[in-house]
């Protein structure tokens, strides 16, 4: 039986009863291999005949441009930033995820509320405030956290982009003036925040320092266990 609920508060105007499909989230820092795994999973699921919808952070029509602009100027306070991201998140939840689930698709989310919370917590937000902020999020059917060592992340970041990202290095936090040092501390911090988040939310840890295909097989076998049959997924009776 496929059914969904939100963490606590209901989303105004949305009937949860109508939602079918499957919501699968891949979490993990940048360069942890998320996008590759999502790409592989979506190919695999489509081969099996499932409609797949991909969704990531900061892709909504509503505020994505403004967020980018605000980030460049580095003028938003952490709380404003948190609310901006939350707006963006709910925009995507209501306009993309919910319709996809309603249609019975498998939604592969490239990160979800957990990354948003972790980032905000590093910047001083309290979990007491963040939990209600994201309490209307649809509870995913599974969340896989790609646990990749800081060295590997650093290696991949440098080899693919040739430089470190300002935000993923936590340069706004003033942890260290040295980028490398700041990056290392920030990633360590992120890891600690995720530890805390995992006491409240069940995230499955996936060992990320393995060959790509090995991780893929691991994810596949986990998803196979929760994958409903096609008839279950498309709950509306065939015409």
Partner 1 sequence: MIDTTATGDVQGRLIAVEGVDGSGKSTQMDLLHKWLRGLGCRVFFSEWNSSPLVAEATKKGKRRLLLTPTTFCLIHATDFADRYERQILPMLKAGYIVLCDRYVYTSFARDRARGCDPEWLREIYGFARPPEITFWFHVPVETALTRLTKSRKEPNYFEAGMDLGLSLDVREGFRIFQGRITENYAEMVDEFSLVQVDATLPIPHQQQIVRRVVQDRLDLNAFPSRIEHVVHDQYGIAPPVFEEDLMDAEGEW
Residues 70-99 that bind partner 1 (CB under 8 A): 70, 75-80, 82-84, 86-87, 90-91, 94-95
Report the C-alpha gap between 201 and 121 in whole angstroms.
15
CB of 63 to partner 1, least distance (A): 4
Interface with partner 1: number of residues (CB under 8 A) = 35
Task: Compute the distance between CA of residue 109 and CA of residue 26 in angstroms, rounded to an integer.
Answer: 6
Between 124 and 224, name the residue whose CB sits nearer to partner 1. Answer: 124
Beta-bridge partner residues of 147 = 207
CB nearer to partner 1: pick between 96 and 234: 96
Question: Given candidates 3, 5, 9, 139, which one binds partner 1 under the rule CB under 8 A?
Answer: 9
Chain residues 135-194 in contact with partner 1, contact rule CB under 8 A: 135-136
- Least separation, in Å, of the C-beta of 183 and partner 1? 22
Q: Does 133 bind partner 1 (CB under 8 A)?
A: yes
Closer residue to partner 1 in complex, CB, 50/112: 112
For helices 64-73 and 78-92, the axis angle rounded to 10 degrees is 160
- What one-character-per-residue DSSP string does 146-214 give? EE--HHHHHHHHHHHHSS--TTTTTGGGTS-SSHHHHHHHHHHHHHHHHHHHHHHS--EEEE-SS-HHH
């Amino acid at each position: 039986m496929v059914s969904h609920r939100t963490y606590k508060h209901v989303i105004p105007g949305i009937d949860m009863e109508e939602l079918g499909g499957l919501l699968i989230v891949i979490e993990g820092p940048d360069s942890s291999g998320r996008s590759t795994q999502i790409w592989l999973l979506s190919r695999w699921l489509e081969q099996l005949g499932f409609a797949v919808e991909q969704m990531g952070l900061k892709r909504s029509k509503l505020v994505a441009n403004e967020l980018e602009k605000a980030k460049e100027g580095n003028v938003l306070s952490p709380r404003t930033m948190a609310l901006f991201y939350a707006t963006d998140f709910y925009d995507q939840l209501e306009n993309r995820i919910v319709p996809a689930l309603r249609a019975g698709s498998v939604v592969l989310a490239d990160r979800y509320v957990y990354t948003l919370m972790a980032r905000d917590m590093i910047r001083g937000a309290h979990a007491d405030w963040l939990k209600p902020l994201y309490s209307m999020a649809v509870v995913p059917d599974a969340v896989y956290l790609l646990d990749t060592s800081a060295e590997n992340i650093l290696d991949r970041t440098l080899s693919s982009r040739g430089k470190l990202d300002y935000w993923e290095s936590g340069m706004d936090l003033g942890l260290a003036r040295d980028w490398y040092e700041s990056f290392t501390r920030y990633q360590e911090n992120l890891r600690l925040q995720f530890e805390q988040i995992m006491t409240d939310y069940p995230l499955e840890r996936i060992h990320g320092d393995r060959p790509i295909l090995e991780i893929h097989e691991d994810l596949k076998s986990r998803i196979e266990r929760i994958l409903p049959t096609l008839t279950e997924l498309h709950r509306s009776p065939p015409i």
